[in-house]
């Protein structure tokens, strides 16, 4: 029908028992933990592969993250550090060999880890 929007179906892992396996935040963290050192991905790429309607939801999860989640490897779609603590995130990325000029990842497209293709 013209003018009718269909809601996108969101896939949530379910155990054989029928119970939800993990929360959405846990799924985001599990995906972020798979980003290899020296590579980066975007809030939008994570949202897309997990079928999350808004990349800001990924950003909120990263902001509330724990120390075992390499949130410094998640950047915005233009290749810039965002979301606070940029000086710390920059140092952590540089330790992994990622070059950062200002707040932008140098060779962003080369270092981009696309979870849709690499998982």
Question: Is 12 within the bounds of a domain?
Answer: no
Here the tokens at position 111 are 């270092």
Please give the residue range of the domain that contains residue 68: 24-118
Question: Is 100 within the bounds of a domain?
Answer: yes
> Within 13 Å of residue 12, how many CA atoms lie on the same side as its CB?
10
Q: CATH code at 64?
A: 1.10.10.10
Give residue 14's pLDDT band: very low, low, confident or very high (50, 70, 90): very low
pLDDT digits (tens, 9 = 90+) for 17-50: 444 556 889 999 999 999 999 999 999 999 999 9
Question: Is 19 within the bounds of a domain?
Answer: no
> What pTM does this model have?
0.80
Give the count of domains, the chain: 1
Residue 23 CA to residue 112 CA, distance in Å, equals: 26
Question: Is 6 within the bounds of a domain?
Answer: no
pLDDT digits (tens, 9 = 90+) for 48-97: 999 999 999 999 999 887 889 999 999 999 999 988 889 999 999 999 99
Question: Is 102 within the bounds of a domain?
Answer: yes
């Amino acid at each position: 029908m013209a003018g009718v929007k269909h809601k996108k179906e969101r896939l949530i892992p379910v155990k054989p028992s029928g119970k939800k396996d993990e929360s959405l935040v846990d799924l985001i963290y599990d995906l972020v933990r798979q980003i290899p050192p020296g590579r980066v991905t975007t809030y939008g790429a994570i949202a897309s592969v997990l079928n999350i309607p808004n990349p800001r939801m990924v950003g909120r999860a990263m902001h509330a993250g724990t120390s075992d989640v390499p949130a410094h490897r998640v950047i915005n779609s233009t290749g810039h550090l965002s979301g606070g603590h940029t000086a710390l995130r920059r140092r952590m990325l540089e330790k992994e060999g990622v070059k950062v000029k200002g707040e932008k990842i140098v060779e962003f497209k080369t270092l981009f880890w696309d979870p849709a293709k690499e998982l």
